[in-house]
């Protein structure tokens, strides 16, 4: 597998020259967070470029790439190790633990309610009434959880690329046999797993406990309704990951990326409201307001989108909520590919 074109910390390609010792150049040393406390050489936990001979004296090939002759399994192992370390470092941060505990605390209220009055509350109710009663147990705290997810994306996902570009680790990371494609894919995968864990896992645990307290006659109905609630959380995690990486790739400052990530959904909601009021259009015909209303509004928006009578609106919102993050990811990927600093 051909590695990525090597560049020094000044951005100049080392085409046809002998590489300096690893950590040379401006600043020196390995400043990537994934290398802290580990071997500072290129033969670290996930890379072995020349059979263990070290980085000194290695020459590039005629195309300016690092020669790599290792097996494909070692490449996969390197990428998985990178992914594991990224997710672990993000989840072990204090703010991540605090938010996770807070979300679990919020999601425990529906479980406590169901354990106390659930069996009596659903007795003799019709199927549609059961669906709405189950849904109301979970959408009450949806806005708080989604707001916390937006804050998490702004303070953890948004600075991920911009801080490495500004701080200097990115040229060192890409000076290893790792392509920009792999770098961006691993950043997205680790960020999405992080957001999925904090947003989707607490509701999933709550759903499992909640299902055990319901009468057997409404198990299928509860599973159907709650699966759609979890689908919204999953789409929202995907949206927040794409939004954070999009901001991080465009902004040169981590602070600017965080502020852009946090305020952009609120600005789109405000603009969508003005367009809807000015043009006298229903909400479903306003693209910006539809996306923001589906992903950011309070529990009433979830109830309306989950009702069978608004199935068309639900499908429209679902398609737009997936299409917009895909476009943001494509833009972020293009910017990372063309960025001169890397």
pLDDT in tens, the chain (342 residues): 344 333 333 333 333 333 333 333 333 344 443 343 333 334 333 333 444 444 444 444 444 444 455 555 566 676 777 777 777 777 777 877 887 787 777 767 666 665 555 555 666 666 566 666 666 666 666 667 777 788 888 888 888 787 776 655 555 555 556 677 777 888 888 888 888 888 877 777 776 766 666 666 666 666 766 677 777 778 788 888 888 888 888 887 888 888 888 888 777 767 766 766 776 655 544 444 444 444 444 334 444 444 444 445 556 556 666 777 888 888 888 887 776 444
CA distances, 306 to each of 168, 249, 300, 327 (Å): 46, 34, 10, 25
Does some domain include residue 43? no
The four Cα atoms 9, 14, 19, 23 give a dihedral, to 10 degrees, of 10
Which of the 8 DSSP states describes residue 340? T
Does some domain include residue 110? yes
Does some domain include residue 51? no
Does some domain include residue 330? yes
Does some domain include residue 136? yes
Q: Give the chain's domain count.
A: 1
Domain of residue 311, residue span: 79-338
**Which of 211-225 are b and which e, b meaning 16 or more Cβ less than 10 Å from the residue's Cβ?**
eebbeeebeebbeeb
Does some domain include residue 61? no
Give which of 279, 307, 130, 328 is closest to 315, Cα–Cα.
307
Does some domain include residue 39? no
Does some domain include residue 286? yes
């Amino acid at each position: 597998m051909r590695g990525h074109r090597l560049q020094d910390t000044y951005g100049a390609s080392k085409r046809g020259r002998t590489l300096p010792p690893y950590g040379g150049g401006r600043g020196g040393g390995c400043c990537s967070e994934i290398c802290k406390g580990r071997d500072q050489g290129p033969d670290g936990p996930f890379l072995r470029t020349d059979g263990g001979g070290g980085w000194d004296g290695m020459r590039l090939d005629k195309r300016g790439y690092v020669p790599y002759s290792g097996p494909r399994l070692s490449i996969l192992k390197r990428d998985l190790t990178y992914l594991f370390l990224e997710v672990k470092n993000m989840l072990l941060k204090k703010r991540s633990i605090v938010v996770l505990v807070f979300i679990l605390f919020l999601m425990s209220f529906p479980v406590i309610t169901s354990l106390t009055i659930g069996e009596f509350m659903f007795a003799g109710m019709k199927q549609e009434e059961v669906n709405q009663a189950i849904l109301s147990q979970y959408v009450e705290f949806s806005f708080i959880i989604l707001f916390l997810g937006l804050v998490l994306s702004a303070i953890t996902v948004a600075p991920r690329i911009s801080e490495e570009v500004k701080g200097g680790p990115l040229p060192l990371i890409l000076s290893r046999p790792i392509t920009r494609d792999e770098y961006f894919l691993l950043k997205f995968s680790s960020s999405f797993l992080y957001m999925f864990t904090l947003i989707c896992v607490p509701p999933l645990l709550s759903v499992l406990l909640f299902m055990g307290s319901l009468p057997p006659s409404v198990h299928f109905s509860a599973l159907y309704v709650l699966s759609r609630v979890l689908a919204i959380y999953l789409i929202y995690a995907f949206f927040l990951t794409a939004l954070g990486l999009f901001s991080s790739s465009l902004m040169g400052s981590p602070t600017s990326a965080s502020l852009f990530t946090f305020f952009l959904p609120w600005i789109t909601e405000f603009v969508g409201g003005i367009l809807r009021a000015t043009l006298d259009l229903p909400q479903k015909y306003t693209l910006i307001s539809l996306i923001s209303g589906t992903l950011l509004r309070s529990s009433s928006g979830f109830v309306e989108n989950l009702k069978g009578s608004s199935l068309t609106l639900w499908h429209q919102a679902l398609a737009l909520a997936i299409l917009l993050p895909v476009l943001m990811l494509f833009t972020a990927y293009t910017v990372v590919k063309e960025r001169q600093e890397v």
